[in-house]
Chain A
Amino acid sequence: MQLARSNPKSRLDGLTWLVLSLGVLGAVVGFFMAMSSPPDQNQGFVARIFHMHVPTAWMAYLASFGALFYSVAYLVRRQAHFDRVAAAAVEVGLIFMALALLTGMLWARPTWGVYWDWEPRLTTTAILFAIYVGYMVVRGAIEDPELRAKAAAGVAILGAINVPISYMSVKWWRSLHQTQSIDLTTGKIMVDSAILIPMLVNLAAFTLLYVGMVRLRGIIAAREAAQEEA
């Protein structure tokens, strides 16, 4: 505990608890709101999975943005704290990416008839997932903390730059050479407030959960680092 107290970054503070508990509460409320939302007129009850899918996908991209931000911050300031937060953002982000992919596939099966479709957003998320798996592997492979932080920052920055480019390229790849050009994604736009409000609640809840988990992971990482030094 001496160590934990000596570094403010490794203290489990009230804000983390608050964010986490609000997130859990919001997720429960959001789940019930989602389950009581009216069925979509085209897709029926299947559309309810979007209350899970959209927030997780949103978190996946928030994770990539957070990792980019903290990686740049690390390279500029060279403080180990930024590296730990970047790693936490990726690690928690990977879970949300996996959930987004999974829920996307579960939705695609009854709607499009296949589990996987080369839809630009789905494909970009899969590419992003692969990039961040690489990020975690690189972190695992390097022993020296400073070298690890630098290499990880490089991977995170190049990976985040890749998001818009690969999204555009997959979009063109699909559209320029395709016999069928029905945009399957337009069905996703929801305007009805009965669906929009639970969606926003879920979005807020997942954002809180994400931020809380990243903070928690950062604190754990700080304690691990302190223990290694001791």
Chain B
Amino acid sequence: MGRILWLAWRDLTLELRGRTGLLSAVFFLAVMLLILAMAFGPAPQDLRKAAPGALWVALAFAGSLLAGRAFGLEVEDGTLDDLLLTPGGREWIYFGKLLFQLTLLTLVGLVLLLLAGGLFYLPLQQAGWLLAVLLLGALGYAAVSTFYAGMLARLRGREVLLPLLLFPLVVPVVLAAVRFTQGLAEGLPVTELLDWLRLLMVFDAIYVAACAMLFPLILEG
């Protein structure tokens, strides 16, 4: 457990000190939302309808953009081998990277949520539920993207391969998260929407478990 936190903490420190990577990703997504808002706009009701879809597709892009970073630095600095040589199981590497990825995605998601509130007139009153769906959805994205990023870490074409593998798998997350967000925006009672959150939880539980089990097996060496 300690190792997991240390690994995530180290990656976060590196990411925050490096700055350029995270900042350029956030700006790219902000520009993407701006363009999408222009494409769907300017009528507020159209924008509000498109908001959840734009938000969650943007976050899916964020997931695939940031996942490469989780292992990219390790490969550049040659520290991946050090991690693999550490005695004991290898699941903790996955969980550490997952925690790092989840933290980044949640932060980016919060920024995107505020942007969607501003540009797309997405109502943000029920912040608690929005935060819940953001966390569960980000966990779903991060579970799959961290696994594939680790698997493809040393490949040259990984920037293209990662979204190709990631997007079809996270279809359930996109559907559930978009429907939940849309329901909140339309003012439906939350009790009617809870099934979507349950679906997200099931997805997260299955994929975190499966990826953690498979991760040590598919890593090289």
Contacts and interface: CB of A to CB of B under 8 A. Distances in A.
Q: Do A and B bind?
A: yes
Interface of A: 75, 127, 130-131, 133-134, 137-138, 141-142, 147, 150-151, 153-155, 157-159, 161-162, 165-166, 168-170, 172-173, 176-177
A158 B207 contact: yes
Interface string B154-183: 011100010011011101100110010010
Contacts of B211: 158
A157 B214 contact: yes
Contacts of B218: 75, 150-151, 153-154
Contacts of B124: none
Nearest to A157: B214
B14 interface: no
Contacts of A161: 206-207, 210
Given A158-B207, A165-B202, A150 B220 contact: yes
12 contacts: A138-B161, A138-B165, A150-B218, A151-B151, A158-B144, A158-B207, A158-B210, A158-B214, A161-B206, A162-B168, A165-B172, A168-B172
A92 B140 CA distance: 30
Interface in B121-169: 144, 147-148, 151-152, 155-157, 161, 164-165, 167-169
Contact of A141 (B157, B168, B171, B220): B157
B214 A154 contact: yes
Contacts of A131: 165, 168-169
B151 A169 contact: no
Interface residues of B, number: 34
Given A150-B218, A166-B172, A155 B165 contact: yes
Contact of A150 (B168, B172, B217): B217
Given A134-B164, A150-B217, A172-B179, 20 more contacts: A131-B169, A141-B157, A142-B155, A147-B220, A154-B148, A154-B217, A157-B210, A158-B147, A158-B207, A158-B210, A158-B211, A161-B210, A162-B168, A162-B169, A165-B202, A168-B199, A169-B199, A170-B171, A176-B179, A177-B179
B203 interface: yes
Contacts of B157: 141
Interface in B171-221: 171-172, 175-176, 179, 182, 195-196, 199, 202-203, 206-207, 210-211, 214, 217-220
Contacts of A75: 214, 217-218
Contact of B165 (A134, A153, A166, A168): A134
Contacts of A168: 172, 199
